Structure 1
Amino acid sequence: MNVRGIRGAATVEYNDAALIKEVTVEMVHDIVSQNNVNPADISCVFITVTQDLDQAFPAQAIRQLPGWELVPQMCALEVPVKGSLEKCVRLMVLVNTDKTQADINHVYKGGAIALRPDLAQK
């Protein structure tokens, strides 16, 4: 068994706590369903947000999901590179799995598809 990283990224229309939490939960659901992952198999989740999203902690929304209460999570600010994608939530889910890297399905939604169109089309 290996530890694999599963990426997720999505944008929200504006800086709103409900939207930030909604897009985060949607990404988690997609990552879990597309990769057949159980919360017990997750090592940890790294979450970043762009500086223009300061109304909610995405980890708080994830912790509310059944079975996710004990999954270690950490939120941080994304590196503020000029001209980079705005209003974006990014996830790095580290999971224990027998899948190869090529078998992992990453989740990119909304404007975040531009970050990795090669992975988003998988």
Structure 2
Amino acid sequence: MSRAVRALRGATTVDADTPEQIQERMIALLTAMFERNDIHHDDLISVFFTATSDINSAFPAAAARKFGLGDVPLLCAQELEIDGGEPLCLRVLIHLVTDRGRQELHHVYLERARGLRDDLPE
């Protein structure tokens, strides 16, 4: 299979809106996404983060820079406020180049965010 642009999703939650917890949980999420999908730094195109409106103490991208992604284009935005949505939730969308097909990529959902996608294999 030739190399193609793919997107990989992930999410996690924090128990409290603190810079330390945001950094800890975001680094844990990125670590799991990279390990589970054998992502290499040179595969990356960009990373897009969202946070629910109840998170405002730190940018998720700050944790990504600490993780080693300082030279990758990073963007943060606020998640839509939906009634019944998961509070204190951080989401990530990684754009990468890979020779793997869509079905071979494993999206990662941690903490309370596991309940967001019951259609994905563990």
TM-score, normalised by the number of residues in structure 1: 0.94
**2:92 aligned residue:** 91
How far is the alpha carbon of 1:111 from its aligned partner?
A: 1.0
1:28-82 deviation per Cα after TM superposition (whole angstroms, max 9, x unaligned): 111111111111111100000000011111101111223x221110000001111
- Which residue is 2:24 aligned to? 22
Match of 1:10 in 2: 12
- Superposed CA offset, 1:64-101 (max 9, x none): 223x2211100000011111110000000011001111
Q: Which residue of 1 aligns with 2:64?
A: 62
Pairs within 5 Å for 1:41-120: 41-66=43-68, 68-119=69-120
Count of aligned pairs between the two proteins? 120
SS of 1:65's partner is: helix
- Structure 2: which 5+ runs fail to align? none
User: Take 1:43 and 1:115, find their aligned partners in 2: how far apart are those partners?
Assistant: 25
**Percent sequence identity over aligned pairs:** 33
Read off the aligned partner of 2:90 and give its amino acid letter: V
**2:72 corresponds to which letter in structure 1?**
V
Query: Which one-letter code corresponds to 2:109 in the other structure?
Result: Y
TM-score by length of 2: 0.94
Return the offset for 1:117.
Answer: 1.7
Letter in 1 for 2:44: I
Unaligned 5+ segments in structure 1 are none
